[in-house]
């Protein structure tokens, strides 16, 4: 007896066959990655390679408690070491200074009255009695003491009311606004202390990424591994990811103080330390094919929009620990017949995607 298969059944069978064929091709030619994720910051080369460079992101802290009266700089401004960047109101200190000035004025008037009442233009005379001399010396001592206290209050006022930068650089962001109340030690703004020290002759700043990865998968990271970076100022669906390669891995975990000196952001330090002391990773960014191209660094999207990368930009980091063919996950013994690493498949626009 003949069995007739309808065209509709043939279409279903062909669809299943195509699906199985595509699955087989993907199993042998595709790529499944094992990733280690972390957070980091884009920094100038000078901040990572010169031991005497200040180059890291620094927080400028409040020198006293009070209300922030004014900010004297804006984001992206260049500042010099010792430059005043903010003014903090000190109403309590100001009141004490006014009281001290009034008290000093009264003391001087009292001394003048004391001398004029005795008919003397000088502080002392030959016929001055011991009681008069004692009274005059006490008035002089009170004036000297009050002058010293007033000088100390004015000096304290200058220190607590003006905020200065410890090192020169470029203002990355303002963390406070005029009118806000501050406590001593509160961060007011963040400064990139490298100050463009890593500029190439072309005028572009040479950049690297300093990242921190939790110790679990982080212990598998080796120099030369591929890395993909997403700056906080970039949309992944438009520009893709920056391409890089691991250049250095710290031998020991990094302390919170070490992370703070690089990131200059207390919240990020707490977030990174949440999973234990991380490892520090230095990543070299891959240059674009042409030295004169813009952007100057390689992205996973070849025709990515022009994106200005600046030192001090916070970023997310993905490190490729291993690439395996999907078939190896099902039949592990097949891994012996394939190369140790699988190249990334080309993206539709010619770039490479992680």
What digits encode the pLDDT tens for the residues 75-121? 888 888 888 999 988 888 888 888 988 888 888 888 887 777 655 44
User: Span 196-218, mean pLDDT?
Assistant: 67
Query: What pTM was computed for the model?
Result: 0.55
Question: Does pLDDT of 69 surpass 60?
Answer: yes
Q: For the CA atoms of 182, 78, 171, 70, what is the dihedral angle to 10 degrees?
A: 30
Question: Does pLDDT of 152 surpass 80?
Answer: yes
Q: Report which of residues 4 and 222 the model is more confident about.
A: 222
Token representation of residue 145: 């003491």
d(CA 244, CA 284): 5
In whole angstroms, how far apart are CA 287 and each of 131, 207, 232, 242, 300?
Answer: 88, 10, 20, 10, 12
Question: Does pLDDT of 323 surpass 60?
Answer: yes
Token representation of residue 277: 């002391």
Per-residue pLDDT band for 26 (boundaries 50, 70, 90) equals low
User: Span 233-247, mean pLDDT?
Assistant: 86
Question: Does pLDDT of 174 surpass 50?
Answer: yes
Q: Would you give the end-to-end CA distance of the chain in angstroms?
A: 55
Question: Does pLDDT of 345 surpass 60?
Answer: no
For the ranges 35-39, 146-150, 221-225, 343-347, which has the lowest average pLDDT? Answer: 343-347
In whole angstroms, how far apart are CA 101 and each of 95, 107, 114?
Answer: 10, 10, 20
Question: Does pLDDT of 219 surpass 50?
Answer: yes
Please state the three-class secondary structure of 24-58 as a single string: HHHHHHCCEEEEEEEEEEEEEHHHHHCCCCCCCEE
């Amino acid at each position: 007896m003949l069995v007739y298969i309808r065209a509709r059944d043939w279409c279903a069978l062909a669809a299943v066959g195509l699906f199985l064929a595509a699955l087989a091709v993907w199993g042998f030619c595709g790529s499944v990655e094992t990733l280690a994720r972390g957070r980091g910051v884009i920094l100038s080369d000078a901040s990572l390679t010169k031991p005497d460079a200040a180059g890291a992101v620094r927080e400028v802290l409040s020198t006293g408690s009070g209300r922030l009266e004014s900010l004297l700089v804006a984001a992206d401004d260049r500042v010099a070491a010792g430059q005043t960047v903010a003014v903090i109101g000190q109403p309590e200190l100001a009141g004490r200074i006014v009281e001290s000035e009034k008290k000093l004025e009264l003391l001087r008037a009292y001394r003048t009255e004391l001398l004029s009442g005795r008919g003397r233009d000088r502080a002392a005379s030959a016929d001055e009695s011991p009681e008069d001399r004692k009274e005059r010396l006490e008035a002089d001592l009170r004036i000297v003491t009050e002058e010293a206290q007033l000088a100390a209050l004015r000096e304290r006022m200058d220190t607590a009311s003006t905020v200065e930068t410890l090192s020169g650089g470029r203002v990355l962001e303002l963390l406070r606004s005029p009118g806000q109340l501050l406590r001593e030690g509160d961060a007011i703004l963040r400064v990139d202390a490298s100050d463009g020290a890593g500029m190439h002759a072309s005028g572009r700043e040479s950049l690297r990424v300093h990242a921190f990865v939790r110790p679990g998968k982080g212990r598998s990271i080796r120099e030369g591994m591929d890395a993909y970076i997403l700056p906080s100022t970039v949309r992944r669906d438009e520009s893709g990811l920056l391409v890089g390669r691991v250049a250095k891995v710290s031998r020991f975990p990094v302390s919170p103080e070490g992370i703070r000196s690089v990131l200059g952001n207390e919240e990020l330090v707490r977030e990174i330390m949440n999973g234990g002391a991380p490892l520090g990773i230095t990543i070299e960014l891959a240059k674009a094919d042409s030295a004169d191209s813009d952007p100057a660094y390689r992205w996973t999207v070849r025709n990515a929009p022009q994106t200005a990368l600046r030192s001090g930009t916070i970023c997310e980091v993905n490190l490729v620990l291993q690439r395996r063919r999907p078939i190896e996950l099902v039949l592990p013994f097949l891994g012996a017949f394939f190369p140790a690493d699988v190249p990334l498949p080309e993206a539709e626009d010619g770039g490479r995607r992680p």
